[in-house]
Structure 1
Amino acid sequence: MTNDHDGVRELLAAWAVGALPPGDRLGVVQHLAACTSCAAEAERLRDTVRLLDGTPEPSPTPWAEPGTTAPPDGAVHGRPDGAVHASADGVLSLALRSRRPRAAEIAHHAAPYAAAVAGLQALVPEVEGHWGTPVVHDWDAHATVAHLVAADEHLAVHLGVDRRLPVSPIPEGTPAQDAWARRTADVIAHEHGRTPAQTVATWAAQAAALLATPEAADPELAARPVTVMGLRLPVADHFVIRAFEAWIHTDDIGRALGLPVPPPPDEHLWSLVRLAVRILGPALHGAPPVLFEVTGPTGTSWILGDDTDPVHAELSLDPVDFCLLVGGRHAPEEVPSTITGDEDAARNVLERAASLAWL
């Protein structure tokens, strides 16, 4: 490893998430001891990672070695070797502990994303040795994480986070969907030339940088609308979309490995549900009205379609099933649902919801 300033800065993200080999880590530690600007950046990155992991206290210095008050690189929730029980119960318990960030610095709208990032981080150790496992579409587990790098990048760049990967040569005026497909393909191809550990480090560091933006902490700043992947929404809503996608793909990887992944906590799950309904509503403009209910402890209902006409049907779904439908993981004809009244009108809602899927 080079010990020069620029070379070390390129390694700080991987260092912050404990993904550097010992030789590189030693060089980074030596550089941080002498360089105040890199030390400040290292502290910012590690603080954000600590917020995701729920580590209670920072170390006196961000580059503390084993034996100080900080856990060594790679430690997970107080386990000094960084190991995770290689069982479904281990994944479940660790993911559940990780899904509630304790950081007051993260606002309500960014909390679901922070929790989803923590959930995938909890699953990553279980994927070791299985990165080539087919997961979804034509992606293996490695490509699925690479896809998340590309997906999060769109919002990150809007919020001033530096790109971590080469820019794709996409012509100006390319439709958003085509540009998105080209970018994700380029990123996956690029990441397949690197190790899974490097890809995970890039994803985790970008997620940490995204959660360290002012918009992640300030609801007023997050009220600003931006267009990301063809959707013009407040930044706060884009954070919820990032949470949605991170959870869906974590679940994809878990299913491929035969490991159950818990759904988001109720308060986060309902953030996903409410956003999906807000996006679904305009897509059903003029359609026969349907009373749509999402069941659960805080069950809520909406009228979707032309609300000037009498309701044609009533449709009920479980919140997780609804999110999996919108995420493209349930077919409209197969998703568990309860329908009364005009079945065609209710089926139209299910089909429109499924058509929103881009994951």
Structure 2
Amino acid sequence: MNDPERPAPHAGPGDRHRAHDDQDGTAVDGGDGGPRDGSAAPGTDAPRPLGTGPDPDPDPDPDPDGRTSAPRAPSPRTRAGTAAPPPPGAPPTEQDTPERHPAHPASPEAPASSGPPTHGVLKSLLGAWALSACSPGETAAVERHLGECGLCAAEALRLRDAVRLLHPAETLDLDPGLRTRVLDSCLGRRPPRIPVPGWATPYDAETARLDALLQDFGDAEWQTPVRLRWYEDSRPHSRGTTVAGVIAHLLTVDGLVAGALGLADPLHARVRAAGSAEGPAGPAARTEAYWAALLDPPTREVRTPWRDQSHALVRTVAFAAGDAAHAAGSGLLPVSYGDFELPLRDAMVDRAFECWVHATDIAEAVDYPYGPPAPRHLTRLIELGARLLPTALAARRRAGLASPPRRLGEVGAPGRSLRLEIEGAGGGDWYIPLDSPAALGSADHEVAHIALDGTEFCRLAAGHVSPEEAAAGQKGDKEAIREVLAAAAALSRL
């Protein structure tokens, strides 16, 4: 039996089809023992037709004053008998919310893969690897990957270069110029009562630098083999010794200056102890005599007399500098080197030059970095070498090792000249007379031009590089250039 049509309050346009919808032969079953004719049992709500939406609240909350709130109006119906969509902003009802079914049933989380990291992971670690911030395992994985992936290897190199720019590598050694800056600052605030003359400051600085290098040497380092090199008769020569032997050589040759100043000569005391009468005069012969007079090979004990003698030399010339009328005070005191002499001011610069050269020999033997002198000291070393070139060139001519002069002039008159340009720290220009040491170098009579770095010129003058191998820019008279480079190498000696 079809249910009778029940008009709903506030019927909408869709209710006109309600009777037709309910006449489908389906009755609302109230359950066992319940009415089947659509009537409501006493005390119960009337059954709803299908498609009318959710039931109203069975027990609306009462207001605080005891009254119940008005029942909610049913939703307007659509054409198909279903509830119209709720107004905008209304919360969704339980029927409006679709039931969600997961695409796949929940399963326990799979354990992380234990395979090698992917390319993307390794690429993301390159920045940390460049900063040395990876763990040992990550570092090993990244470095294995860099051997297989060229793109990542190139990127890693760029990152490492960038890290070096952010924090350049620095040695643990103090800045070589720190001592000079500290002394300049101290002397600027409180001038010394007895200043060291300018021509002695390179020797003072270079002996201090070498002494600092030797300070931490153990017994093994003192016996490290060292090869001393120099040029003689246009041929390279060398002599093997040890670090201690090099210091003994410096001690002996510095004794030439000590003897000229009236100080004790270390060679005389050594040869007298060995039973000899008098030692030789030249640097090479003095060195061989000192080595031969030693009962045992030199050890680290040689550092103390060398250091004491260098301090005594600086103190003596500093005290003598106050008396300009005295030869030692003016730096004109002659110092004999056997077959030639130098004034004291040049002899002290010469000793500074040899101290630096042999300190470099020692540093190379023990594989330790050693820089050049301070620029103002390097200038004095280069200037002395440039002034000695005309004399060395004349000595080679007398020995038949150089061509005769092309044009002789009066003493002090300008003559053919070579321009020696020294580049870098301590550099400058010097005009070397080519025909006679008594001639005057002049830019107006320039016939050749040589350009050399300052340290390269010093290596040439020390006999550590041959004239043919010297990195020199050349222009002009080829014969003059060749002879001047050979004369520079001839300045070297043991």
Equivalent runs, 1:247-262 vs 2, <5 Å: 247-262=356-371
Deviates more, 1:201-210 or 1:328-337: 328-337
1:133 equivalent in structure 2: 224
| Counterpart pick for 1:277 among 386, 406, 414 | 386
Tell me whether 1:188 sits opposite 2:269 in the alignment.
no
Q: Is the 8 Å Cα contact of residues 290 and 313 (structure 1) preserved in structure 2?
A: yes
SS of the residue aligned with 1:317? strand
Residue identity in the other structure for 2:287: T
Relative to 1, partners in 2 of residues 1:120 and 1:340: Cα closer, same or farther, differing over 3 Å?
A: same
| Counterpart pick for 1:294 among 422, 430, 433 | 422
What is the aligned-residue RMSD (CA, Å)?
2.7
2:488 equivalent in structure 1: 353
Residue identity in the other structure for 1:224: L
Relative to 1, partners in 2 of residues 1:211 and 1:298: Cα closer, same or farther, differing over 3 Å?
A: closer
Higher CA-based Rg: 2
SS of the residue aligned with 1:142? helix
Distance 1:170 1:292 in 2: 45
SS of the residue aligned with 1:338? strand
SS of the residue aligned with 2:466? coil
Distance 2:417 2:389 in 1: 13
Residue identity in the other structure for 1:268: H
Distance 2:201 2:359 in 1: 17
Equivalent runs, 1:1-359 vs 2, <5 Å: 89-90=171-172, 92-93=173-174, 95-98=176-179, 102=183, 104=192, 105-128=195-218, 129-136=220-227, 137-164=239-266, 165-167=269-271, 169=276, 176-177=281-282, 180-191=283-294, 193=296, 196-214=299-317, 218=321, 220=324, 221-230=329-338, 231-284=340-393, 286=405, 289-297=417-425, 299-304=427-432, 305-306=434-435, 307=441, 310-359=445-494
Deviates more, 1:97-106 or 1:265-274: 97-106
Relative to 1, partners in 2 of residues 1:349 and 1:110: Cα closer, same or farther, differing over 3 Å?
A: same
1:228-249 deviation per Cα after TM superposition (whole angstroms, max 9, x unaligned): 2133222111111110111111
Q: Is the 8 Å Cα contact of residues 143 and 191 (structure 1) preserved in structure 2?
A: no
Q: Normalised by the size of structure 1, how large is the TM-score?
A: 0.67
Residue identity in the other structure for 1:241: D
Q: Is the 8 Å Cα contact of residues 450 and 472 (structure 2) preserved in structure 1?
A: yes
Larger RCO (alpha carbons 8 Å, 6+ apart): 1
Relative to 1, partners in 2 of residues 1:190 and 1:101: Cα closer, same or farther, differing over 3 Å?
A: farther
Relative to 1, partners in 2 of residues 1:89 and 1:298: Cα closer, same or farther, differing over 3 Å?
A: closer
Q: Which runs of 5+ in 2 are unaligned?
A: 1-169, 228-238, 395-404, 407-415, 436-440
Distance 1:336 1:322 in 2: 9
2:32 equivalent in structure 1: none
Runs of 4+ in 1 over 6 A off after TM superposition: none
Please state how far the C-alpha of 1:138 moved relative to its aligned partner. Answer: 1.1
Please state how far the C-alpha of 1:296 moved relative to its aligned partner. Answer: 2.3
SS of the residue aligned with 2:370? coil
Distance 1:98 1:357 in 2: 29
Residue identity in the other structure for 1:295: E
Relative to 1, partners in 2 of residues 1:101 and 1:213: Cα closer, same or farther, differing over 3 Å?
A: farther
Distance 1:317 1:278 in 2: 16
Higher helix share: 1
Relative to 1, partners in 2 of residues 1:262 and 1:298: Cα closer, same or farther, differing over 3 Å?
A: closer
1:12-37 deviation per Cα after TM superposition (whole angstroms, max 9, x unaligned): xxxxxxxxxxxxxxxxxxxxxxxxxx
Distance 2:197 2:182 in 1: 11
Residue identity in the other structure for 2:259: V
Q: Is the 8 Å Cα contact of residues 251 and 309 (structure 2) preserved in structure 1?
A: yes
The count of residues paired between Structure 1 and Structure 2 equals 267
Distance 1:192 1:250 in 2: 25
Residue identity in the other structure for 1:107: P
Residue identity in the other structure for 2:331: A
Q: Is the 8 Å Cα contact of residues 289 and 312 (structure 1) preserved in structure 2?
A: yes
Q: Is the 8 Å Cα contact of residues 221 and 243 (structure 2) preserved in structure 1?
A: yes
Residue identity in the other structure for 1:293: E
Relative to 1, partners in 2 of residues 1:235 and 1:89: Cα closer, same or farther, differing over 3 Å?
A: same
Q: Is the 8 Å Cα contact of residues 451 and 474 (structure 2) preserved in structure 1?
A: yes
Relative to 1, partners in 2 of residues 1:299 and 1:96: Cα closer, same or farther, differing over 3 Å?
A: closer
